[in-house]
């Protein structure tokens, strides 16, 4: 199977995975969904590492260095715990169509944080890409026709949802850079799946600790153990499609083709979401939504390929 096809499968997995998480969040709330899907993803990743690499629990904790835990831990907290929580919440308020478009802010955030932390180069093409992406997102956000179509599907242009969508995209981009920093800080590179395991571990622990200190641990656990509104199947499906299948396929794709090519295909997510959203939530695909998504994707493409121009 070609790397391009695997990258496209990755994008489809992530795109479909949005909808089970959105549905589960609508049924029991974003907090319980984000908290328990992180635990489930970490447990599944632990099993995968054990059987694929014969790594024991002691190996998983002893082989990484301190800097791996520090930066990958921060990456997990910012990207998974905070970023995904904000993103899931924005999906429930804005709908998957507009909510997914805010994920295109991730590459821009990664570029800026990479410039500050890793000394990566930034040029005028990269800056142009950021502004083009922002322009596409603003276009869809302010579109009156698309707003009407979203309201018919039960979603609205909620200010809280917009703010959370922006924060989610920025956190995901920042988490990506911290992940790269944690994996490549010294000459010996930590295996990617092991790095994901560390990210999920810290993200999971943080989500449960925040829930505990906020005195919401029992409140967030009751819907899970009682399977309120039959939310558990959606959480399981979303976890398998997103953090497990999506991440695994993305790693396979990057091993077979250039990272820039893979990232460009991954950036097609908002376009893939459009027909799925039409099928699931009956939200009409407007001309404005198509062109706004294409504009945002053009901006991401400029960012990714900025050094090729």
pLDDT in the model for residue 69: 92
Q: Taking a C-beta distance cutoff of 8 angstroms, is the pair 109, 172 a contact?
A: yes
Please write the tens of the pLDDT for every residue from 222-236: 999 999 999 999 999
pLDDT in the model for residue 126: 86
Q: What torsion, rounded to 10 degrees, do the Cα atoms 182, 186, 187, 190 define?
A: -30
What is the pLDDT of the chain when averaged over all its residues? 89
CB atoms within 10 A of CB 240: 18
Please write the tens of the pLDDT for every residue from 148-187: 888 988 898 989 999 999 999 999 888 888 887 787 755 5
CA pair distance 268, 263, nearest whole angstrom: 9
Confidence class for position 262, pLDDT limits 50, 70, 90? confident
* Count: domains in the chain: 1
Please write the tens of the pLDDT for every residue from 32-49: 999 999 999 999 999 988
Instruction: Indicate the pTM of the whole model.
Output: 0.90
Domain that holds residue 271: 3-308
Q: Taking a C-beta distance cutoff of 8 angstroms, is the pair 296, 101 a contact?
A: yes
Q: Taking a C-beta distance cutoff of 8 angstroms, is the pair 114, 178 a contact?
A: no
Tokens of 295: 């504009």
Q: Which residue has the tokens 């169509």?
A: 97
Please write the tens of the pLDDT for every residue from 182-220: 877 555 667 778 888 999 999 999 999 999 999 999 999
């Amino acid at each position: 199977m070609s790397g391009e096809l695997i990258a496209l499968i990755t994008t489809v997995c992530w795109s479909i995975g949005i909808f089970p998480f959105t549905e589960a969040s609508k049924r029991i709330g974003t907090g319980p969904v984000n908290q328990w899907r992180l635990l489930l993803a970490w447990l599944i990743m632990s099993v995968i590492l054990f059987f694929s690499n014969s790594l024991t629990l002691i190996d998983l904790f002893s082989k990484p260095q301190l800097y791996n835990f520090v930066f990958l831990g921060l990456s997990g907290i910012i990207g998974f715990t905070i970023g995904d929580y904000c993103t899931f919440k924005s999906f429930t308020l804005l709908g998957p169509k507009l909510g997914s478009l805010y994920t295109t802010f991730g590459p821009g955030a990664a570029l800026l944080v990479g410039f500050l932390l890793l000394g990566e180069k930034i040029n005028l093409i990269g800056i142009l890409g950021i502004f083009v992406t922002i322009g596409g997102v603003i276009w869809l956000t302010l579109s009156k026709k698309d707003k009407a179509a979203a309201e018919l599907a039960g979603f609205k242009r909620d200010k809280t949802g917009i703010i959370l969508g922006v924060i989610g995209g920025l956190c995901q981009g920042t988490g990506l850079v911290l992940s790269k920093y944690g994996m490549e800080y010294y000459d010996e590179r930590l295996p990617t799946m092991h790095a994901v395991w560390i990210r999920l571990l810290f993200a999971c622990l943080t989500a449960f600790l925040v829930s505990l200190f906020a005195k919401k641990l029992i409140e967030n656990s009751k819907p899970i153990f009682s399977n309120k509104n039959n939310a558990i199947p959606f959480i399981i499906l979303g976890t398998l499609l997103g953090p497990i299948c999506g991440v695994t396929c993305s790693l396979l794709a990057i091993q077979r083709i250039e990272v820039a090519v893979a990232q460009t295909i991954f950036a097609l997510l908002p376009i893939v979401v459009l027909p799925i959203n039409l099928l699931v939530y009956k939200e009409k695909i407007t001309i404005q939504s198509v062109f706004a998504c294409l504009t945002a994707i053009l901006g991401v493409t400029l960012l990714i390929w900025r050094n090729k121009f």
